[in-house]
Structure 1
Amino acid sequence: MSFENDAALPQDPSGRVVSAGDGARSLGMVAEDADYLRDAAAVLAAPPSVVPAGLLAEVLARNYGLSGQIDILSSEVECTAEVRLPDDRRLILKVSAQPAAVESFRFQSAAIAAVAGVDGFVAPRVLPTRGQEPMFECEGVCGYLQTRLDGTALHRLPASPGLLRETGRALGQLDLALGSGDLPAMHRPVLWHVRCWPGLMELRHHLPPGPVAEAVRRAMADFQGNIAPRLGEVPWQVTHNDPSPFNTLVTDDGIAFIDFGDGCFGPRIQDLAIAASHNVSDPSLPLGGAGHLIAGYAEALPLSSVEANLLVGLMKARQSALILINYWRSHLFPENAAYINKNVGRAERGLAILSALSAGDAQEVVMATTR
């Protein structure tokens, strides 16, 4: 991105400043949205927070009175660690020294608490600190502790119609639970929010020339011209905003959702668009195979005609956003490119399949799927 006024932001390997303000305004974004985009981009332009294992042990003991074996896990922004207690219980500790993490952790811990005990899906539980707080802040470090769920990530399992339908139904139940009220920090800047997407085309120079770049250009033009102007016609609420196959688990107790770090206040249908976009893989099936997931979601949360009309356009825009953001971030952090790009191939294949559908055909398939 080309935000010349953001000297504090990192530079990419070529020396180009990573930012998002003036370029976004040149694409027709209002100043408020351009500022939101700039602040959201700064979060993902920062290197992952690194917290030494010794400090993790210290904050665990100080804030929770616990000790155990600590193993640091892969993570894009915050420091995530698995804690194995002496009694073999396993927990997940999320910690960061980044200032923006305070608002993110406030949201995450509140979102997990808001869905605790709700039927129809599984989610982690937040463990309170010694002071009965959902998160801790001390000496420049903040974080929270949650239970670790045992299960198999969706991307590791065959995408059977029954499993996809069950996943969609569970996601609808999750959105019903998240829609019950406001949460702290739900309006904080998140680059995956739809209000950022018009400005993401500033990142297109990171894409290799060819059919993927052209499909991204067309999908984002359609989003800006035909989808975004109608988003005010659909319900908005707190959403998970990243129910990918990596954040969806199959457990003995049902479908589980983890990692609420990208959650925010946005169009409710966005959660379905994201989950469905990750399951477009077979051009011989309706919507590439995502129809079963969409049908399951509609059993829990029936789609309005407007939502049905916008869904495939949102799916393509989300695939394009994923491609743009991850090519950019892998350029910034080449040593972490394999982890950053874990979903890119799936998004590129899915976008190619959906791009072959006309808008009318896409809406007709969605309506037929949800009848």
Structure 2
Amino acid sequence: MSVLDVSSEGGLAAAYISMEPNEASSLAAEVYGIRGTATKFATEKDDTFRINVDDGRKFILKVANPSEDESEIDFQVAMMVHIEDRDPEVPVPRVIADGQGRLHRYIEDQAGQRRIARLMTYAEGTPLDSTGSNAQEREKVGEILARMRYALEDFTHPGESRVLAWDVQHLLNLAPLLEGVENPEQRRQLEQGMGRYEALAPQIAKLRRQVLHNDFSKSNIVVDHELSEFVTGIIDFGDSVRTAVAIDVSTALLNQLPRDARENPVDDVFAHGRDVLRGYLSIAELTEQELLLIPHLTMSRVVARALITLWRVKQFPENAAYIMRNTEQGWGQLDWFLSRTVDEVSATLLP
């Protein structure tokens, strides 16, 4: 599959006319009978709003990118319903049906675009990327990731095998994007990281796979320091896919790496990630081969993030701040991985 095919999956490369809050408020009232004020969130490929009702209730209204296929939306909704059924204590959003019992439906917006809308419950708390965490709290994050894995282990759907740019198992499809990296040193780092992945690709291809969240980033984890469970919400199933269990874990660990690894080098970039992994392993097992490959998969996600965002910011310069918000930290993280041998990186998370 070509790089353009990969990059356009899931609406990543599709421009559209964005919906404004006033229209979202009207949509929530007309379709779902929810009358309130809409506040828009910064997002990458759709329009997402919080609907505040006068009685204190809050909801999330998501209006898909016009290019998103109905099967992809149905896949995400079915995942959330399945998790609720298998493990109701896992705090995923509850999808709310419209007046005809539909969990998602087509609408035509004021710009004449045919789009899919869905309404969900709102997770109270603070996004983890806006607050700190201690070791015990990070363990709670790992526990929820493991519980989600087990809740989804018997889940299947026709849309599960889509090809996503953010799914590291397809990293080599992004190789043509290297040509667009203008900074020679950054390009050298990315080429070296890509080369390491390519050498390990036969082993990665043999890893266990199932449907997984695939984007356990801090921005998608809602927390409350006052609650013993800590995690109050897991949001954004837009990158969910059938992928390797080790890739799902590596994505969670990526988002625990230090953001200032270049300015303040550390001996162990996984210092916080180890807490997440400890919580995960208290619920679910990982094979030795998975533990050997997870550090390399974490590095590979750094490579993918840089390639995708450097390409996307040229396509959508008006959204540069959002697209590039996590890219700069990656160069110091790559320094850490590439300054060590493959064997040293492999041994990082072994007991």
Tell me the TM-score normalized by structure 1. 0.83
The letter for the 1-side match of 2:150 is L
- Worse-matched range after superposition: 86-95 or 345-354: 345-354
The letter for the 2-side match of 1:312 is P
| 1:109-148 to 2 correspondences below 5 Å | 109-116=77-84, 118=87, 121-139=90-108, 140-148=114-122
The letter for the 1-side match of 2:168 is V
Q: Are the counterparts in 1 of residues 83 and 90 from structure 2 also a CA contact under 8 Å?
A: no
Aligned match of 1:308: 291
Aligned match of 1:239: 212
TM-aligned CA deviation for residue 108 of structure 1: 1.9
1:107 aligns with 2:90: no
Aligned length, in residue pairs: 335
Aligned match of 2:52: 84
Seen in structure 2, the aligned counterparts of structure 1 residues 123 and 250 have a Cα distance that, compared at 3 Å, is same
1:73 aligns with 2:73: no
Which structure 1 residue ranges, 4+ long, deviate > 6 Å from structure 2?
none
Spell out, residue by residue over 1:101-155, the C-alpha distance to the aligned partner (whole angstroms, 9 max, x if none). 4233212211221212626642211111111121111342211101111112222
The letter for the 1-side match of 2:27 is V
Aligned match of 1:152: 126
Q: Are the counterparts in 2 of residues 280 and 350 from structure 1 also a CA contact under 8 Å?
A: yes
Seen in structure 2, the aligned counterparts of structure 1 residues 233 and 188 have a Cα distance that, compared at 3 Å, is closer
TM-aligned CA deviation for residue 352 of structure 1: 2.0
The letter for the 2-side match of 1:264 is V
1:320 aligns with 2:303: yes
Q: Are the counterparts in 1 of residues 107 and 117 from structure 2 also a CA contact under 8 Å?
A: no
Query: Which of residues 193, 205, 221 in structure 2 aligns to 1:248?
Result: 221
Q: Are the counterparts in 2 of residues 288 and 350 from structure 1 also a CA contact under 8 Å?
A: no
CA distance in 1, matches of 2:211, 2:307: 24
CA distance in 2, matches of 1:164, 1:121: 16
1:270 aligns with 2:247: yes
TM-aligned CA deviation for residue 65 of structure 1: 1.8
Seen in structure 2, the aligned counterparts of structure 1 residues 85 and 238 have a Cα distance that, compared at 3 Å, is same
The letter for the 2-side match of 1:105 is I
1:175 aligns with 2:144: no
Seen in structure 2, the aligned counterparts of structure 1 residues 224 and 305 have a Cα distance that, compared at 3 Å, is same
Query: Which of residues 203, 215, 222 in structure 1 aligns to 2:177?
Result: 203
Spell out, residue by residue over 1:221-278, the C-alpha distance to the aligned partner (whole angstroms, 9 max, x if none). 111221x212342211111111111111213343231111111111122111111012
Aligned match of 1:366: 349
Aligned match of 2:111: none
The letter for the 1-side match of 2:98 is T
The letter for the 2-side match of 1:224 is E
Q: Are the counterparts in 2 of residues 168 and 296 from structure 1 also a CA contact under 8 Å?
A: yes
- Worse-matched range after superposition: 92-101 or 282-291: 282-291
Residue 282 of structure 2: SS of its match in structure 1? helix
The letter for the 1-side match of 2:79 is A
- Worse-matched range after superposition: 345-354 or 86-95: 345-354
Query: Which of residues 313, 330, 337 in structure 1 aligns to 2:313?
Result: 330
TM-aligned CA deviation for residue 89 of structure 1: 0.8
Q: Are the counterparts in 1 of residues 65 and 115 from structure 2 also a CA contact under 8 Å?
A: yes
Structure 2 residue runs of 5 or longer lacking an equivalent are 109-113
CA distance in 2, matches of 1:202, 1:339: 23
Residue 218 of structure 2: SS of its match in structure 1? coil
Structure 1 residue runs of 5 or longer lacking an equivalent are 1-19, 25-33
CA distance in 1, matches of 2:286, 2:65: 41
TM-aligned CA deviation for residue 348 of structure 1: 2.7
Seen in structure 2, the aligned counterparts of structure 1 residues 80 and 242 have a Cα distance that, compared at 3 Å, is same
Seen in structure 2, the aligned counterparts of structure 1 residues 79 and 348 have a Cα distance that, compared at 3 Å, is same
Residue 63 of structure 2: SS of its match in structure 1? strand
CA RMSD of aligned residues (A): 2.3
Q: Are the counterparts in 2 of residues 49 and 97 from structure 1 also a CA contact under 8 Å?
A: no
Q: Are the counterparts in 2 of residues 330 and 341 from structure 1 also a CA contact under 8 Å?
A: yes
Residue 301 of structure 1: SS of its match in structure 2? coil
Q: Are the counterparts in 1 of residues 292 and 346 from structure 2 also a CA contact under 8 Å?
A: yes
Residue 77 of structure 1: SS of its match in structure 2? coil
TM-aligned CA deviation for residue 184 of structure 1: 4.7
Aligned match of 1:11: none
CA distance in 1, matches of 2:17, 2:340: 41
